[in-house]
Structure 1
Amino acid sequence: MKALLSLLAALPLSGFLLRPAAPAPKYAVADIPAALREGAHAVLRADNEVVTVKSAGRLVHTVHRVITVLDAAGDDFGRHTVSYDALNSLAYLRGAVYDENGRLLHQLRPAEIHDQGVGDAGGSFMTDVRVRYADLRQPQVPYTVEFDYEVVSDNALFYPGWQPQEEEGLAVQDATFKVTTPTELPLRYQERQWPKGAAVAHTADGGRETYEWQLSALPAVEEETAAPPLAYTTPAVVLAPGDFEVQGHKGTAASWKGLGQWSYALNAGRDQLPPATVAKVQALVKDAPDARTKAQRIYEMLQGSTRYISVQLGLGGWQTFPASSVASNGYGDCKALSNYTMALLAAAGVPAYVALVGAGDDRPDLRADFPSSQFNHAIVCVPMAPAGRPDTLWLECTSQTEAFGYMGSFTGNRHALLVTPEGGKLVATPRYGAAENRQTRRIDLTLDAVGGATATARTLRTGQEQDLYAQLLHQLGPVEQRKYVTDRLKLPTFTLTKFTLAAAPAKAAPAIVETLGLALPGFAMPSGKRVFVNANLLSRLPALPAQVGERHTPVWLSDAYLHADTVRLHLPAGFRPETLPAPVQLSTAYGSYSSQYQNLPDGSVQYIRRLELKRGQLPASAYTGYLDFRRKISVADKAQVVLLKTES
């Protein structure tokens, strides 16, 4: 026995200590069904989200998310960002990354989680919003990332939504969404683009109700041409409170009226102006003949004396700075500037209201059938009655350059929530159609005998067609403007010999005039005795790609506009028109198009083109017709005038 003990004592101790077992592999790429890998850049292996409503003023959102990155195009899924602020605290953020076979490569360490504020160096943000950011991307694909986090929210005006398939190229293997709420706080929800036969599981137990949704085996989707944004085409569940409370301010979002009442009460009494400001306003408008003139003078004063900043400080996301503060400091966010404008108008005897709106150039209208906070901006609504006819004036108070009464693509063509003492009311902002959104272009195109050409082009853009060019005019210098335009001219070889951009007088909508001078070497080279010329120099509309497979999404025509072109083609000496393209006339549910050519008495050729596109949403089956419409336009836009040399 002693000999055995001596022998054991002589053996290395490490021979008897058990090494920690390596974690069992999980999330192996081979376990992903082949159908989900097809056409996918990444696969959402698991998305388990739980929302626990604790009270009218607090909820907890817990997320467990696992994504396999299949190729470099899906690399962005290898990192994750979670925001938090004074009303939303981040309890934890954890992560891990696995190799192709599911073996753990790395566990996210606290030191690898970056924490930073949201803002910019220019000082235009006042915010308590911060983000925590983790990056687990790997140099070799495929790999799998796993993230866990929990947010505790004291801002129960907003409930988290759920849309697992939020990006193109992402397949979904399994995803669940579970919400529990006290019985006295019934859950308000709306299922959107929901698969047929997939039903919510609803149970009740011990004074709490639970709702659970599940999605699985969703192949990756590719955004289709002329389709709504992906957020409006893949399955989603949207939540909203009934009764809620934010920092002691109680309200209800069960109706638009109730939501507006909460916003009005939150900002009541913050519209008082200093006496000096009131006196200044009254002096400004004392000889104004009507309310509209008063409003215009006040708007111009606002633009000349204030600037915009973004305020996101706790309740400051919804409660405005007092009007007196803006008067003293000369700045404010959209709510503060709108509240200040409303106060200025009141001092002039012009009633007005703040209106909440979901702003964005490509943002579809709000869901009117689901009262909830769907807003990110505030504007001012001024009811008017000129000449006895009901009318409404709208003011964008954050811009120092926007035309008086113009909403444009940022806030036009949608609904807003008017905030009144009686509560909220959904109203329509200005509608901009083809009558307002116009591009009228006149070109003189002069050919020489050796194939070169020069051109002068004057383009008048109005309404939403001028929105981008108004930004260029007011935000960039002449050199940057010129470069922007030059980079986007779709001409093979040219020199920009002249360029100007200027505002122009307009009645229905603001207008911008662009003037171009162009030198076009080799534009129409002779071919024997003939020269082939495309008179459509700047307005060709390309055809669209054919639909591959079955179309799934509606045809989404986001803007209505009218483009009208007149081109005068001046011929070189010794040439005459031999053949002019036949006229084209198209009239469809998508819009209309016409083009025609004419010999003029002075020997020149005139080309007139007119394209009007409608705004709207059509069923997926309409894409075939829209494709054909665009193809015919493209063919017509490429038609050529044939010139014949008459001298030897």
Structure 2
Amino acid sequence: MHRYLFVLLLLFFDGPLVYAQKQFAADDIPAELKANANSVIRDLKNTLEINGDNQYTFKRELTITLLNDRAEDEAVLRIHYDKETKFRSFEGAIYDKSGNIIKKLKEKDLDDMSNTSGSSLFDDNRMKAYRPIISSYPITVSYTWEVVTSNTFFTYTFYPYISYNQGVESAQFNVIAPESFEVNIHNLRAGQPETTTAKGRKSRKWTFTRLSAIAVEPFSLPVYEIIPAVIVAPKHFIYNAYKGSNTSWEAFGQWIYALTEGRQTLPDATVNQLKTLTAKTTSEIEKARLVYAFMQSKTRYVSIQLGIGGYQPFDAETVDRLGYGDCKALTNYTHALMEAVGVPAYYALVNSGYGKYSLFDDFPSNQFNHVILCLPMKGDTVWLECTNQQIPFGFIGRFTNNRKALLISKEGGKLVCTTRYGKAENVIRQVSEVHIDGDGNAVSTIRLAFSGLLYDDYYDLGLLSTSDLKRRLYKEFDFANFDIVSQAVTNNLQIPEFVLQLEVKLPAYVSRTGQVNVMPLSLTSNYNAKKQKARNRKQDFELLNAYCYQDTIHYLLPENTIIKTQSQHNSFESPFGSYSSQLIVDGSSVTIIRKLETNQGRFPAEAYEKFIAFYDKVAMADKLQLIY
């Protein structure tokens, strides 16, 4: 899991408050806050002040002590702004371990730069940034900054922590708004706020003190299920004169629909081209395949982050003419192409990313960062990623699988689930043949087929040059000594399945001790590496996906070889998965058939030792050797 804990920070990332000298001596930090900590937040104050229907200010005051170099990145300041969000002020300071001021900071000390990658063609997002030069630890940094935004379309999440392995002395979040301005609040283990009203304005203040550090543990639950959090969104908002509502998913979806309405007109020439392309089929799914391939061959992805363009797609005619767009524009364009040949489709919002991204169903708001297309086919729903020219039709992979998406229609928004890939889909199939000569050297042909989420992990191998592919393969396989003679890849888009075929030489594959030859019976890559141990685990853990690994390996030894190892079978199972292997000895040939299935699920912390024990048992079973 990523080190930083929050996903929906929008414009708000770093910043602190400058205090009197020697208030932040590192020795003054309570010992319990240093336990398992690389840093300690001394004081954090985030103030979100809504000034009316179309303006709010955000002020962040942060003082953090870095205890060691593992917390170095937590001292990096980033203030995001654009034409809608204006940078207002900044001040800061750096303190030594005794709390003495080393340096005072002003706006002139900040670097001003673009906030997007080179793939962004239309962009007004910028960032003021600062990275202190740190020569020794502990050290304390303090920043205070403020921005003002001329809209009220936001969903802001406050966490009292910035990262794992971090203690918190004091953290505060204050939401201030006119009494008449309705604010939706989603409270996650944060307790009740202190509420006050004065001069027609209402303040809600959450305060957190002496929070112990949360240690990073393997397979941790999503952070929003562990730590306190407060999520805030206006019940009604305005963005670039577009009025919207978070009163329900239907209402929010109607606002998104208004941004896309009337933007799906295609040139007559393109419509005629599509009708010709699909004329020979009446199958809805085949029409959709042809249209998707047409879109992929005609377009490329660029980021659009200019004003309302951050939420409103280019019209389809513009994308058709230019041949590029962002996720919104390309999805809207593909939607228009599908409708042109009679294939129903829905524009769909989703929170993309690698890992688990849950959506709070009972908190209608902008919890999304990506757009994909949904085709409600008979018998099954097809999801299309429209920003990737290489991805197969109907495959969305780790980026958007197994999460809630919001379908957009004239009637509004409707929550549905995207594709979930299980162990029947997430498969690696290996079929190999290994020839052993009289000196114990081996030559092997290996065929590996990857499907489901494992396809997503490996299909990019097919995009590499021959030399780059070979370099990557040497890193992928964990043989002690091997040479790749040849390699070939096949990307079966219809399945989808990615196939890798290799011929490798394995010098001295068989070891000799006296008159006995010993040969390992495992010809697999490192996909079954032992799992990381965690002593005195504190948190529950979650295995997000289930997988299946199938291996069939034929070993052909020199004729008349006398094999001492007998045929055998081994199998076991646990709540975390199942394992089986069968060794078949037939004359001077040996076949091993192996299958490992892993389960998806959530487990209590005390079960982690049994989880490790299961994988230790798998590793031991895979050490099977042939004696001859």
TM over 0.5: yes
Deviation, 1:54, is 1.6
Whether contact under 8 Å (1:97, 1:143) holds in the other structure is yes
Structure 1 partner of 2:507: 521
Equivalences for residues 107-122 of structure 1 within 5 A: 107-121=104-118
Deviates further, 22-31 or 367-376: 22-31
Alignment pair present for 1:465 and 2:444? no
Structure 2 partner of 1:175: 171
- Whichever residue aligns with residue 558 of structure 1, its letter is L
User: 1:139 and 1:285, CA in 2 relative to 1: closer, same or farther beyond 3 A?
Assistant: same
Structure 2 partner of 1:630: 615
Whole-angstrom distance in 1 between the partners of 2:20 and 2:158: 31
TM-score calculated relative to the size of structure 1: 0.90
Structure 2 partner of 1:544: 531
Question: Residue 170 of structure 2: SS of its match in structure 1?
Answer: strand
Deviation, 1:574, is 5.5
Question: Residue 83 of structure 2: SS of its match in structure 1?
Answer: coil
Deviation, 1:221, is 2.2
Deviation, 1:505, is 6.0
Match of 2:548 among 559, 562, 586: 562
Question: Residue 472 of structure 2: SS of its match in structure 1?
Answer: helix
Question: Residue 276 of structure 2: SS of its match in structure 1?
Answer: helix
Structure 2 partner of 1:11: none
User: 1:323 and 1:310, CA in 2 relative to 1: closer, same or farther beyond 3 A?
Assistant: same
Deviation, 1:607, is 0.9
Whether contact under 8 Å (2:43, 2:169) holds in the other structure is yes
Question: Residue 287 of structure 2: SS of its match in structure 1?
Answer: helix
Whole-angstrom distance in 2 between the partners of 1:161 and 1:365: 14
Whether contact under 8 Å (2:407, 2:416) holds in the other structure is yes
Whole-angstrom distance in 2 between the partners of 1:298 and 1:45: 56
Deviation, 1:531, is 2.4
User: How many residues get paired?
Assistant: 609
Structure 2 partner of 1:57: 54
Deviation, 1:582, is 4.9
Structure 2 partner of 1:451: 440
Alignment pair present for 1:482 and 2:470? yes
- Whichever residue aligns with residue 409 of structure 1, its letter is R
TM-score calculated relative to the size of structure 2: 0.93
Question: Residue 327 of structure 1: SS of its match in structure 2?
Answer: helix
Match of 2:590 among 605, 608, 617: 605
Structure 1 partner of 2:125: 129
Residues 467-525 of structure 1: per-residue CA shift (max 9 Å, x gap): 12212313x22221221121121122221222222213654xx1111012222223221
RMSD over aligned CA atoms reads 2.0
Structure 2 partner of 1:40: 37
Whether contact under 8 Å (1:79, 1:137) holds in the other structure is no
Question: Residue 161 of structure 1: SS of its match in structure 2?
Answer: strand
Structure 2 partner of 1:9: none
Structure 2 partner of 1:139: 135
Match of 2:563 among 574, 577, 580: 577
User: 1:522 and 1:232, CA in 2 relative to 1: closer, same or farther beyond 3 A?
Assistant: farther
Structure 2 unaligned residues grouped into runs of 5+: 1-18
Whether contact under 8 Å (1:581, 1:640) holds in the other structure is no
Question: Residue 563 of structure 2: SS of its match in structure 1?
Answer: strand
Deviation, 1:62, is 0.7
Whole-angstrom distance in 2 between the partners of 1:614 and 1:257: 36
Structure 2 partner of 1:69: 66
Equivalences for residues 149-164 of structure 1 within 5 A: 149-164=145-160
Structure 2 partner of 1:270: 263
Whole-angstrom distance in 2 between the partners of 1:182 and 1:372: 20
Whole-angstrom distance in 2 between the partners of 1:23 and 1:436: 60
Match of 1:30 among 27, 37, 52: 27
Point out the structure with max Rg over C-alpha.
1
Deviation, 1:398, is 1.2
User: 1:225 and 1:253, CA in 2 relative to 1: closer, same or farther beyond 3 A?
Assistant: same
Deviation, 1:589, is 2.4
Question: Residue 102 of structure 1: SS of its match in structure 2?
Answer: coil
Alignment pair present for 1:258 and 2:251? yes
Deviation, 1:560, is 1.8
Whole-angstrom distance in 1 between the partners of 2:234 and 2:567: 62
Whether contact under 8 Å (2:195, 2:204) holds in the other structure is yes
Alignment pair present for 1:313 and 2:306? yes
Alignment pair present for 1:365 and 2:352? no
Alignment pair present for 1:341 and 2:328? no
Deviation, 1:51, is 0.9
Structure 2 partner of 1:187: 183
Whole-angstrom distance in 1 between the partners of 2:21 and 2:493: 72
Whether contact under 8 Å (2:171, 2:207) holds in the other structure is yes
Structure 1 partner of 2:10: none
- Whichever residue aligns with residue 450 of structure 1, its letter is D
Whether contact under 8 Å (1:119, 1:125) holds in the other structure is no
Structure 2 partner of 1:618: 603
Deviation, 1:148, is 0.6
- Whichever residue aligns with residue 47 of structure 2, its letter is V
Whether contact under 8 Å (1:583, 1:594) holds in the other structure is yes
Structure 1 partner of 2:3: none
- Whichever residue aligns with residue 580 of structure 2, its letter is S
Deviation, 1:563, is 0.9
Residues 392-446 of structure 1: per-residue CA shift (max 9 Å, x gap): 2222111111111111211121221000000000111122111111110012123
Deviates further, 569-578 or 370-379: 569-578
Question: Residue 583 of structure 1: SS of its match in structure 2?
Answer: strand
Alignment pair present for 1:351 and 2:344? yes
Deviates further, 536-545 or 344-353: 536-545
Whole-angstrom distance in 2 between the partners of 1:246 and 1:618: 43
- Whichever residue aligns with residue 423 of structure 2, its letter is A
Deviation, 1:67, is 0.8
Whole-angstrom distance in 2 between the partners of 1:360 and 1:23: 42
Structure 1 partner of 2:479: 491
Question: Residue 142 of structure 2: SS of its match in structure 1?
Answer: strand
Deviation, 1:266, is 1.7
Equivalences for residues 76-95 of structure 1 within 5 A: 76-95=73-92
Whether contact under 8 Å (2:546, 2:598) holds in the other structure is yes
Deviation, 1:55, is 2.0
Alignment pair present for 1:594 and 2:603? no
Structure 1 partner of 2:320: 327
Deviation, 1:154, is 2.7
Deviates further, 615-624 or 515-524: 615-624
Match of 1:247 among 240, 248, 260: 240
Deviation, 1:261, is 0.6
Whole-angstrom distance in 2 between the partners of 1:86 and 1:637: 59
Whether contact under 8 Å (2:561, 2:588) holds in the other structure is no
Task: Give % identity.
Answer: 34
Whole-angstrom distance in 2 between the partners of 1:297 and 1:141: 60
